[in-house]
Structure 1
Amino acid sequence: MYNLIRAELFKLRKDRSFHVLVLIIAALSLAYPLLYYIDNKSGGKPQFTGAEFLIKFVASNGYIIKFSIAALAGFFIASEYTTGVMKTVASSGNDRGRLYAAKLIGFSAGAMMISLIFPLVSLAEVSMLSGFGQLPEGVDAFFLPRVLRFTLLYTAAYAAIGALFTAMFTESGKTISFLMVFFLMINTILGGLGEYIPVFTTVYDYSVFKLLGDIGKTRIDGGDVPALLLVPLLTIVVSGLLGVLVFRKKEIK
């Protein structure tokens, strides 16, 4: 298992699509706060400090996480079905459950690294331009590490969902298109269904799709912490197990 994970991490380091995604997200992370800086300067408005920018725009990282997982799933995992690499690996004699788990770990590691680019790069840039500043009253010093930890956890949960659908579709184009639409529309779909079928409201309230937007809150009640931790962990476990079942039964051509 250890060697399988090492192999996936090695492939991740060499994967061009991963490098391109890192560069794109890094460029956006530099351009996004810079546009606000130029606009505020030309308009005579006060500049955001690093702390203020992070608190105000950390929720935007959710879109980057969804985009990067959809793209990375299509290019890093699904492309191996098209090129025949997955067939070779699946016929190597290794247990398919272990193969899938190793692939999921490598994929999740890549997605988690990408998920930290926007908050860290934008924070560093704005802090260099305007200073880090002071955290607003009521925001404790653990805000940044808490946001980063939850970002990694929820990215892993989204990656598990992405890997599951990738095992189902196996084609890059279908995988990317479906995941883009799914991640962008699932909140609206579950919210709309909840208006007619109340159980969907509960499902939505305790799903990673809704809770992803809560990890950037400046204040989190102690009673909300168990849900914020357990929901993504359960999502990883359930999606991972379903992915293993799909991969084991999949006819890989």
Structure 2
Amino acid sequence: MYNLIRAELFKLRKNRSFWTLLMAFAVLSLAYPLLYYFDHRSSGQPQFTGAEFLVSFISSNAYIIKLGVAMLAGFFISNEYASGIMKTIASTGHTRDRLYAAKLIGFTGGAMLLSLVFPIISTVEVSLLSGFGQLPDESTPFFLPRLLGLTLLYTAAYAAIGALIAVIMTDSGKTIGGSLIFFLMIDIVLAGIGSKVEIIGQLYDYSIFKLIGGIGKPSIDSGDMLPLLLVPLLTIVLCALVGISVFRRKDIK
């Protein structure tokens, strides 16, 4: 299993699409704060400090996570079906359970790196321009580690869903398109149905799609912290098990 994971991480490091996404997100992370910087400068408004920018715009990172997972799933997982690599891997003698688990770990690692680009680069850039400032008074000393930790955890949950979509669709283009449509529409669909059907509304309230919006709060009550941790963990386990089941039965050509 260790060698399988190493192989997946090696393929991730050599994957040009991954590095292209990484560079694209880095450029976006540099450009996004500059728009606010020059706009505030021209209008005479006070500039964001690094801390203010991080707290105010961390919710925007959810779109980066969704886009990164969808694109990487297509280029890193589904693309191996078209290139014949998946067929070669499946015939190596390893069980499909281990093959899927290793690929999921490698894929999740790449998605996690992509998810950290925006909060880190943007905050550093704004801090260099206007200073870091101070975090909100209600925040704790563990705010930054908690924020980054939850970002990685929720990225892993989205990656588990993305990997499942990839193994179902197998085609790179369909995976990217299907994942993007799913990630962008699921909130609207669940919120709309949930407003009329109570059980769907409760399901949405305790889903990663709704809870990810709360990971950037300066202060989180202990009662709210438990679902913030358990829901993504359960999502990862459930999607991984379903993905393994699908991959076992998949006819790889």
TM-score class, shorter-chain normalisation, is over 0.9
Report the counterpart of residue 19 of structure 1 in structure 2.
Answer: 19
> For the residues of structure 2 that align with 1:211 and 1:194, how far apart are their CA atoms?
15
Q: What is the CA distance between 1:141 and its match in structure 2? A: 2.4
> For the residues of structure 1 that align with 2:98 and 2:138, how far apart are their CA atoms?
46
**Matches for 1:51-130 after TM superposition, within 5 Å:** 51-130=51-130
Q: What is the CA distance between 1:156 and its match in structure 2? A: 0.2
Q: Does 1:46 align with 2:46?
A: yes
Report the counterpart of residue 189 of structure 2 in structure 1.
Answer: 189
Letter in structure 1 aligned against 2:179: L
Q: What is the CA distance between 1:134 and its match in structure 2? A: 1.2
Q: What is the CA distance between 1:143 and its match in structure 2? A: 1.4
Q: Does 1:9 align with 2:26?
A: no
Secondary structure in 1 aligned to 2:187?
helix
> For the residues of structure 2 that align with 1:235 and 1:195, how far apart are their CA atoms?
23
Structure 2: gaps spanning 5 or more residues? none
Q: Using structure 2 for the length normalisation, give the TM-score.
A: 0.99
> For the residues of structure 1 that align with 2:118 and 2:52, how far apart are their CA atoms?
15
Report the counterpart of residue 230 of structure 2 in structure 1.
Answer: 230
Q: Is the 8 A contact 2:61 2:118 kept in 1?
A: yes
> For the residues of structure 1 that align with 2:36 and 2:197, how far apart are their CA atoms?
42
Q: What is the CA distance between 1:92 and its match in structure 2? A: 1.2
Letter in structure 1 aligned against 2:153: L
Q: What is the CA distance between 1:240 and its match in structure 2? A: 0.2
Structure 1: gaps spanning 5 or more residues? none
Question: Cα deviation per residue 1:183-220 (whole Å; 9 max; x = unaligned)?
Answer: 00101111111123211011101111111111011121
Q: What is the CA distance between 1:145 and its match in structure 2? A: 1.1
Deviates more, 1:127-136 or 1:56-65: 127-136
Report the counterpart of residue 144 of structure 1 in structure 2.
Answer: 144
Q: Does 1:160 align with 2:160?
A: yes
> For the residues of structure 1 that align with 2:231 and 2:214, how far apart are their CA atoms?
12
Secondary structure in 2 aligned to 1:220?
coil
> How many residues are treated as equivalent by the alignment?
253
> For the residues of structure 1 that align with 2:145 and 2:251, how far apart are their CA atoms?
43
> For the residues of structure 1 that align with 2:49 and 2:195, how far apart are their CA atoms?
40
Q: Is the 8 A contact 2:136 2:218 kept in 1?
A: no
Q: What is the CA distance between 1:142 and its match in structure 2? A: 1.7
Q: Using structure 1 for the length normalisation, give the TM-score.
A: 0.99
Question: Cα deviation per residue 1:63-85 (whole Å; 9 max; x = unaligned)?
Answer: 00000000000001000001110
Q: What is the CA distance between 1:135 and its match in structure 2? A: 1.4
